[in-house]
Amino acid sequence: MLAASPLLSRTLRTAGLALLPASQRVPVTLLLRPFADDGTVLRLTARGTTIRLEEYAASALTVALLRAECDCEEHRVAGAAHRTVLAPDAVPDAAVEIDGARRFGWRGIEAALLGPDQVAPYLEELLERIAQSPVATGRAGSATQPLHDSGWSATSIPSEASTRAV
């Protein structure tokens, strides 16, 4: 589990968020649950040039069983370790992001190199923005009106057929 850094700890405490055990330090992936359990889970990721905050229903969490090195009877009887994770097919209810390429001129993996204390100020900004998102305010969009502006649309994402080698 990620041991929270001082600035990140203070940010989480101020925002009323608890850090879930599946969080990791590099690249930053934080799973967060509000202290006032409102039925949501947040995931903050920093990848490439993007820092992204996604909101999921708590029902999107599942348990992954972690097997021991061997599968002998002794280890099976002892019980498998487990970790709470987002289900592989989980779809966020809302998402906001900071495009580091556009905002800071990042060109590669700068977001992925940020540590927990370095993403804390961006988490504060993204928490404010997601609270004002259409889902949070009851003005949810339709399939033709995305909940966030990621710069991608269904028509701009290459299909599997168009990316195959000929």
**pLDDT 10s digits, 21-76:** 878 887 899 999 998 888 999 999 999 999 999 999 999 988 877 666 666 666 66
DSSP-assigned letter for residue 159:
P
How would residue 110 be classed by pLDDT, with cut points 50, 70 and 90? very high
Q: Give me the mean pLDDT over the 113-129 stretch.
A: 94
Domain holding 75, by residue range, is 6-163
pTM (two decimals): 0.72
Number of domains in the chain: 1
Of 7, 4, 6, the residue nearest 19 (C-alpha): 4
Q: Which two tokens stand for residue 60?
A: 């999107």
Alpha-carbon distance of 74 to 50, in angstroms, equals 45
CB proximity list for 146: less than 8 A, separation 6 or greater = 153
Has residue 1 been placed in a domain?
A: no
Of 124, 122, 60, the residue nearest 92 (C-alpha): 60
The confidence score (pLDDT) of residue 103 equals 96
The confidence score (pLDDT) of residue 163 equals 32
